[in-house]
Structure 1
């Protein structure tokens, strides 16, 4: 509706869609509250849209109780007070959400009753195509209540880490994330910054040399295993329900998690340890080296030359009289740099 409305006022990010308003209706209401009244022609001029589109928006606002006919003329509209009209819509939406939540709980109980009766063939659901896989990937994280466990391989199958908005929303809700990252992921420029943001948000991140599969486990009750056919270049996924197979995936995660090396970043996105006298940059270098990155990978992530990385590592070794990097790691741990 009214492409001119959304097209012209791109600076006004719609936020009232949760109350049932589309973009054009929200823009019309925002314009209406700024003046005593508007008719369709005046609103169309204000929003640079067709008068018919403006008339439809005004009629829709009247139906929603957000606008009323002006006493000065039936063709003019005045905005209803936001504290009354919008609040009423919010209450209606909240009640609808409560009813939906109660229905979700009822359906969940029914589903749990059938979950234990699944046959061998029903334990795994097959999802085909990148769009469907991406949708389930998002849905599972949105449904998480307590924790999400994940394997992140270096090559991207469906959703890139920086595009995983469902993860950000889950962390904001208080969901705990434990993520294992394949070491070669840090060959991608900027990946260190992504990992830093995740840890700063409260996620636990560890690094391993290699991961066997792409995996997402939600609340230890359901898992998604992404599948990528190298020969056909097709993408799919397995949705694994409670079963011996899910138990095996959980055991695999727990085993690799124990073996993983924590990525040592503090809440401010910096490698822990500067408090002991190590410059911030050196602490970051040590943290990434501890995670198993090569000198070149460390240089790429921190925007340095490999020679600079090697020079700073050499200076740290000289500082503690270490002949090898293994000795440097020992001194770093003993001195509280890591």
Structure 2
């Protein structure tokens, strides 16, 4: 079933009939009882009762010289008081959400009441999921192999967070670009709006939720043991990690989506990008198109130049942003 279109309202009560009568009188103040009823598709009695309710709530007032002996007040005057009360309630709700979010994070070892503690891998993964579910505006991360989760396992949670307006910025270690599963996951999230950059060597792994909590893997034990991470709440130490992220972000190279030129590619060029993003070798691409490897190299360089990309993966990221893959 198609959901009816939602519209704003002027009156302090949610009553479509009153809204209809008010709007009609705002547009046409010279109605008499008969024409008002016809215009609003009400009976004359229903139209009169609606007008009386508008008078009672102050949305209309007695007026001489018009057939109904009443006129509606300006929309701004009618809505100002109750919209002001609503805005105040929204502000109070935001404050309540922020307060409860701090309690939520504190109960999980990451609020202002717990500045720093060490956790095992299982707890870190739980906090990683909870942090994304509760964050309000941003997730910043530095990612490098080996990864604690199966590559792609977090994509759906990240996309849901981005759909509600959370901005993701991730710095990837260059070695991650050599992993097919990592490349596929990056292309999915970049296409949905993640900002990504890469750097030859990352100083550490790190994820920061808003400005409330950071997870910092500190050591990876032997294969049969769990890794350990630090959970850092609001503190000078967290501020330091935020500054570190921003510094590394400025040093890193964009994966795509930044500084793009307005360029459109042909079908064969887009097909070439798909093969590149899938990790196909020049020889395999040459066989696919029935051309020489040298021709493939020349075409790839042309596509990279047109996109303003410096690597195959960056070209793939740009293509993903545009929905070409």
1 or 2 for the larger relative contact order (CA 8 Å, sep ≥6)? 2
Q: What is the match of residue 251 of structure 2?
A: 259
Q: What is the match of residue 234 of structure 1?
A: 226
SS in 2 for 1:162: coil
Task: Give the distance between the partners of 2:119 and 2:214, measured in 1 at CA.
Answer: 12
Q: Deviations over 1:95-150 (max 9, x none)?
A: xxxxx99976555577999x9986xxx5212212x221111110111111001101
Instruction: Return closer, same or farther for 1:315/1:107 CA change in 2, 3 Å cut-off.
Output: closer
Per the TM alignment, residue 259 of structure 1 is displaced from its structure 2 partner at its CA by 1.6
Task: Give the distance between the partners of 1:247 and 1:127, measured in 2 at CA.
Answer: 20
1:123 lines up with 2:115 in the alignment: yes
Maintained 8 Å contact 2:282/2:297: no
Task: Give the distance between the partners of 1:234 and 1:116, measured in 2 at CA.
Answer: 24
291, 309, 314: which one aligns with 2:297? 314
Maintained 8 Å contact 1:226/1:238: yes
Per the TM alignment, residue 221 of structure 1 is displaced from its structure 2 partner at its CA by 2.3
Task: Give the distance between the partners of 1:237 and 1:305, measured in 2 at CA.
Answer: 38
Instruction: Return closer, same or farther for 1:117/1:193 CA change in 2, 3 Å cut-off.
Output: closer
Task: Give the distance between the partners of 2:300 and 2:230, measured in 1 at CA.
Answer: 48
Maintained 8 Å contact 1:228/1:234: no
136, 151, 158: which one aligns with 1:160? 151
1:279 lines up with 2:262 in the alignment: no
1:201 lines up with 2:192 in the alignment: yes
Q: What is the match of residue 293 of structure 1?
A: none
Q: What is the match of residue 166 of structure 2?
A: 175
CA RMSD, 1 decimal: 4.1
Maintained 8 Å contact 1:157/1:228: no
Per the TM alignment, residue 249 of structure 1 is displaced from its structure 2 partner at its CA by 0.8
Task: Give the distance between the partners of 1:116 and 1:170, measured in 2 at CA.
Answer: 20
1:149 lines up with 2:140 in the alignment: yes
SS in 2 for 1:224: strand
Maintained 8 Å contact 1:133/1:158: no
Per the TM alignment, residue 215 of structure 1 is displaced from its structure 2 partner at its CA by 1.0
Task: Give the distance between the partners of 1:109 and 1:163, measured in 2 at CA.
Answer: 23
Unaligned runs of 5+ in 1: 1-99, 286-297, 321-327
Instruction: Return closer, same or farther for 1:106/1:241 CA change in 2, 3 Å cut-off.
Output: closer
Maintained 8 Å contact 1:215/1:224: yes
1:214 lines up with 2:195 in the alignment: no
Per the TM alignment, residue 176 of structure 1 is displaced from its structure 2 partner at its CA by 0.6
Per the TM alignment, residue 156 of structure 1 is displaced from its structure 2 partner at its CA by 1.1
Q: What is the match of residue 61 of structure 1?
A: none
SS in 1 for 2:153: helix
SS in 1 for 2:264: helix
Per the TM alignment, residue 272 of structure 1 is displaced from its structure 2 partner at its CA by 7.1
229, 235, 241: which one aligns with 1:249? 241
TM-score with structure 1 length normalisation?
0.50
SS in 1 for 2:256: coil
Spell out the pairing of 1:1-338 with structure 2 (5 A cutoff).
107=100, 123-128=115-120, 130-158=121-149, 160-231=151-222, 233-264=225-256, 274-275=263-264, 279-281=269-271, 284=273, 301-307=277-283, 308=285, 311-312=294-295, 314-316=297-299, 333=308
Aligned residues: 206
